[in-house]
A and B are shown apart, each in its own frame.
Chain A
Amino acid sequence: MEQLLRFLMRYGGTFLFVILEVFSLLIVVNQNSFQHASFLSSSNQVAASFLNAESSVTSYFGLETTNRQLAIENTALQNRVALLQGRLELLKDSTHGNLQIAPDQAYHYVSAKVIGNSINKLQNYITLNKGKLDGIKPEMGVVNDQGVVGIVTAVSDHFAAVMSLLNSKSQLSCKIKRTNDFGRLVWNGIDSDYAQLLEVPRHADVRVGDTLITSGFSAIFPEGIPVGIVTQSSRPSTSSYYDITAKLTTKFRSLTYVKVIQYQNQEELQTVQKEGVQ
């Protein structure tokens, strides 16, 4: 006992050092299992309240751009409503008023403000000012009018942490709009404007300028949300896949407002998928 005490007195610092470092490393290595723990993320009430206060000051600097973006999106939506209304009338006319369209809105959007957003790390996250009480859950998709933004990882009552597409751990199933060839979109950490599309087979036909959209395979994003434009594509002789770089349509430097996608039938889809496996 006395020896133990003497040991601790002498090497106490080193002892504590080893304990703290092992503890931190364990958290780093197991970070995937801590991903949904909101108290360890920026959706933590205290941290997020601070970010919220900060963004209420800094968001004024970008108001002009934000307004312009919202106005453009508004006009686009109004045009779409007019177009669809016209089509509906046409259909009603052709069926002499007997047409009934079942309400089938599988996706619901919740708008949220970005209160924290980094692009200078390898693993970038975004913090939003909406949380559990607004119906947001982990694994929900986040988009803005430009394209895909990321996927929710942790939520607290009023805030959510979102894994940005600019994250080395992010993976997104995408397809090329023109040819319907599928691939997996990842980010290599170098340039915040460009991402890489993997696993597109050699026999596919990919050209510079092709548009990438979401594939709709998972319940996270509906099909057809823009992701990027192919800027470079090559077929290295050593690989059976294409080497594709795409410019992301979302401008991550100036994110202000985003929409979280709630898929109404997510649970049902997951149950069916699970039962299918068994």
Chain B
Amino acid sequence: MSGNQLLKHFIRFAVLIILQVAIFDNIRFLGYINPLLYIWFILGLPSTINRSFLLILAFITGSILDIFSNTPGMYAFATVFVAYFRAPLLKLVVPRDDVSSSYEPSVKSLGFPVFLKYAAVLIVLLHLLLFTLEAFSFVHYELVLEKTIINSSLTLLLVLSLQKTKT
């Protein structure tokens, strides 16, 4: 990672965490709207990033959000899980000849259909894990699924629209 790239990702990390804590975790409309836009930070990191480093970054990101929302361990678990399956998924969806070179997953670098597949799978996985863990002590499966579908769509929409403005 060059210095410029590093700075870009750090700023993105800080801005997304602030947005998540100040806005997305506090939406009072309807009572179950809680998009997890912060995951864009993990999704957008360079493809050649060291795997262990990525996992530790994910753990730190998750833990910060856990502290703010009083949910010890939940964001951390879900974020690390998504970070671990990022590389295998990229291998699966990105055409073979691109694999060797380093790139940052985005609509611009992967093209819309490939990025959509990649982002959608990880975003749904994240929401499903987090909302299931949250419901841990109590079974309300329909509510978890409903929350997952609505909020994943919202997060995906946000990630895609933010990308468009950047290209």
- Point out residues on A near B: beta carbons under 8 Å: 12-14, 16-17, 20-21, 23-28, 31, 34, 40-42, 44, 47, 50-51, 54, 116-123, 125, 153, 161, 168-169, 188-192, 253
- Write 19 A-B pairs (CB below 8 A) sorted by A numbering: A12-B51, A13-B55, A17-B55, A20-B55, A20-B59, A20-B80, A21-B80, A24-B77, A25-B77, A27-B73, A28-B74, A34-B72, A41-B70, A54-B22, A120-B25, A120-B26, A120-B33, A161-B70, A190-B140
Q: Mark B34-57, 1 if CB is under 8 A from A, else 0.
A: 100000000000000001100110
Of B2-10, B93-101, B115-123, B131-139, which binds chain A? Answer: B131-139
Q: Are A28 and B32 in touch, CB under 8 angstroms?
A: no
What separation, in Å, do the CA atoms of A47 and B73 have in the docked complex? 16
Say whether B15 faces chain A, with CB atoms less than 8 Å apart. no
What separation, in Å, do the CA atoms of A24 and B71 have in the docked complex? 11
Say whether B31 faces chain A, with CB atoms less than 8 Å apart. yes
Residues of B within 8 A of A117 (CB): 26
CB distance from B127 to the nearest CB of A (A): 13
Q: Are B68 and A28 in touch, CB under 8 angstroms?
A: no
What separation, in Å, do the CA atoms of A117 and B62 have in the docked complex? 19
Residues of B within 8 A of A118 (CB): 25-26, 69
What number of residue pairs across chains A and B have CB atoms under 8 A from each other?
112
Q: A20-B59, A119-B31 are in contact. Are A168 and B73 (CB under 8 A)?
A: no
Partner of A24, one of B32, B68, B80: B80
Q: Are B133 and A120 in touch, CB under 8 angstroms?
A: no
What separation, in Å, do the CA atoms of A51 and B68 have in the docked complex? 9
Q: Are A17 and B73 in touch, CB under 8 angstroms?
A: no
Say whether B103 faces chain A, with CB atoms less than 8 Å apart. no
Residues of A within 8 A of B134 (CB): 121-123
Residues of A within 8 A of B62 (CB): 24
CB distance from B30 to the nearest CB of A (A): 8
Q: Are B67 and A120 in touch, CB under 8 angstroms?
A: no
Residues of B within 8 A of A168 (CB): 135, 137-138
Say whether B92 faces chain A, with CB atoms less than 8 Å apart. no
CB distance from B132 to the nearest CB of A (A): 10
CB distance from B73 to the nearest CB of A (A): 3
Partner of A21, one of B22, B25, B56, B81: B81
What separation, in Å, do the CA atoms of A28 and B70 have in the docked complex? 11
CB distance from B124 to the nearest CB of A (A): 18
Q: Are B31 and A120 in touch, CB under 8 angstroms?
A: yes
Q: Which residue of B lies closest to A19 (CB)?
A: B55
Q: Are B72 and A17 in touch, CB under 8 angstroms?
A: no
Residues of A within 8 A of B133 (CB): 28
Q: Are B69 and A125 in touch, CB under 8 angstroms?
A: yes
Q: Mark B73-93, 1 if CB is under 8 A from A, else 0.
A: 110110011001000000000
Q: Are B137 and A50 in touch, CB under 8 angstroms?
A: no
CB distance from B51 to the nearest CB of A (A): 4
Q: A25-B77, A189-B143, A253-B28 are in contact. Are A121 and B137 (CB under 8 A)?
A: no
Residues of B within 8 A of A16 (CB): 51-52, 55-56
Q: Which residue of B lies closest to A58 (CB)?
A: B22
Say whether B149 faces chain A, with CB atoms less than 8 Å apart. no
Residues of A within 8 A of B21 (CB): 50-51, 54
